[in-house]
Amino acid sequence: MAETDHLPIFHVIGFSGHRRVSDAAGLERALRAVLDELRAKPGVEWLALSSVAAGSDMVFARTALNLGMGWEAILPLPPTEFRRDFSEAEWREVEVLLAESEHVRIIGERGRREDAYLDGGMETVNHSDLLLAVWDGEPSRGRGGTAEIVAYARELGRPIIIVDANTLVVRRENFERLQVGDRHVTRLNALPSVPVTESTPGEPGRDRVSGFHYKVDRAATNGAPHLRRLIPGPGGLHVLATALAAAPLAFHLHHPAMPWGKLLCLFGALGIALVVRHHRHQHDWVRSRLAAEITRSALATWGMPRAVRLFDDFDWAGLEPLRRSLDVLQRRSVRTRPAAFDEFKQRYLRERLDGQLAYFARQDARAVPQLGRLRAGFTISSLLAIVFTAIYAAHSTLAQPVAPPWVESWIFGFGPIVLPVLAAAFISLISINDLHRRVARYKEMRIRLETARKEAAFVQTWGALERVVAKAERALLQEVFEWHSITSFTESH
């Protein structure tokens, strides 16, 4: 797709294979044929992921790079430790390959060597849509061998392509589970475009992500069900229904319209609840909002020399391809045009931290008075209910003179029935709107971001700034994911 506000969809093919290769040229031809077949599938770009051990790993990496594919390296150990497994000539070749990789990820910082190789192979499977293995079908000769990695991929149900290490015959497993493309990114790409006034010269990747962000953010805003004002409706109608039921008892009103009014209130409360639930189910605005905020975070960190991988530790609930697209586009942009330190720092302070601080201040200013009003309503209703009930109890027990009619009607009859229901309605609104958590969270986020801003304003090196940015962005993303989880759970009920 050539649209400037569409994100490409990336799939990852992980690799595991033996170190001993009897026919390197033949293996390269077999791997090339497999990769060419995958790359022929329209609508996606395939990325390669592997370690770079001697043997088939290096053949795979070279083949992927020669085909023009993006390749990411997973190292089981830090380079200074990993190089002990190579001769000087082999390590020079590894360094050449690593220089061409889009990203180098180190798995094992400490621990046993065999465990690091096993962990590296398992991480390859975890981050792949498809495993390509060069395997002779025999059990592993050591911990972390290809047989164990294939067994792990089978356990997870991953599609697998196995190239026989001896005959180079290709066979496939679980291929019916390979889904090319992604419906979520495709749906987001299909949203109507929004004119973007700002652009960054020489940064087509960033401009593409910006265009995508604007239209997803607009869709989330426009598609959100504006039903918050309807939420108090069922509670208010139930209070009114209770009042209509209590009025005949307290005031001796026996007009035939009273029970019909109560019935209409009950039907109205049920109808509003069904409308809210229906509209919530009909809108996927929650996922659009989540995508917009994730993209906003990616744009905020765009241009850092080492792209901060913010999203690895989050459960993406079907949005993994979006994370991958943003990661790949950002890494590729960084390789060609890293940002200047002062420029990035000032932009991050101004646009990201100051912008988020202002946002949480606005949210706090709205939520705190609302919580105060609802608390006051609950307190007043509860206290009046207690006072009215106590007066009635005292009057009944102490055999006081006959009370005035208005006291019997309002304090003895109507109030003790309606006021507890009214208090329950107030406390329900606090719970439904999640006000206690929201107010506490807004204050916490402001404190964390103010601290991050002070730290970011002081730091003078990329390493220190990266740590501050990573901490701030993870806090913001955690807030988004908490909101997503709470809202999605609410939407399903």
> Residue-wise pLDDT tens for the chain (493 aa)?
447 889 999 999 999 998 888 888 999 999 999 999 999 988 899 999 999 988 899 999 999 999 999 999 999 888 888 888 888 888 999 999 999 998 888 886 665 777 888 899 999 999 999 999 999 888 877 667 889 999 999 999 999 999 999 999 999 999 888 888 888 899 999 998 888 766 566 566 788 999 999 999 998 888 776 656 667 788 888 888 888 888 887 777 777 887 888 889 888 888 877 776 665 544 567 788 888 999 999 999 988 876 566 566 555 667 788 888 998 898 888 888 888 899 999 999 999 999 999 999 999 999 999 999 999 999 999 999 999 888 888 887 876 677 788 888 888 888 888 989 999 889 888 887 888 888 999 999 999 999 999 999 999 999 899 999 989 998 898 888 877 776 665 544 4
* Strand order through the sheet with 45-50: 103-106, 70-75, 45-50, 10-17, 130-135, 160-164, 170-173
Are 209 and 304 in a shared domain? Answer: yes
Give the per-residue pLDDT at 283.
57
Looking at residue 393, what is its pLDDT? 84
Q: Are residues 213 and 275 in the same domain?
A: yes
Both 376 and 266 in one domain: the answer is yes
What does the block give as tokens for 46? 């395939």
pTM score: 0.80
Kindly state whether residues 358 and 223 are assigned to the same domain: yes
Name the residue among 124, 105, 129 with its Cα closest to residue 44.
Answer: 129
Q: Is residue 304 part of a domain?
A: yes
Assess whether 352 and 428 both reside in one domain. Answer: yes
Q: 319 with 294: CB under 8 angstroms?
A: yes
In the block, which residue shows the tokens 């992927």? 64
Strand partners, 106: 75
Measured distance CA(401)–CA(56) in Å, rounded: 101
Query: Do 330 and 298 meet the contact criterion of CB atoms below 8 Å apart?
Result: yes
162: CATH: 3.40.50.450
Strand, coil or helix: what is 191?
coil
189 within some domain: no
Q: Residue 199 falls within a domain, yes or no? A: no
- Residue pair 152/122 in contact by the 8 Å Cβ criterion: yes
Are 288 and 429 part of one and the same domain?
yes
Say which amino acid occupies 155: E
Of the three residues 159, 177, 195, the one that is the final residue of a domain is: 177
Distance CA(480)–CA(319), nearest Å, equals 14
Judge whether 234 lies within some domain: yes
In a domain, 413, yes or no: yes
Domain end, chosen from 140, 158, 177, is at: 177
pLDDT the model gives residue 1: 41
**Does 269 lie in the same domain as 146?**
no
Could you tell me if residue 392 is inside a domain? yes
Q: Please give the tally of structural domains in the chain.
A: 2
Q: Is residue 165 located within the same domain as residue 218?
A: no
Structural domain ending residue among the three candidates 177, 196, 229 = 177
Range of the domain at 288: 204-491
Q: Considering the domain boundaries, does residue 136 fall inside one?
A: yes
3-state DSSP assignment of residue 195: coil
Residues 376, 328 within the same domain? yes
Both 274 and 345 in a single domain?
yes
CA atoms within 13 A on the CB side of 397: 6
Residue 229 is predicted with a pLDDT of: 67
Give Cα 388 to chain centroid, integer Å: 50
Together in a domain, 151 and 246: no
Do 21 and 129 belong to one domain? yes
Residue 187 lies in a domain: no
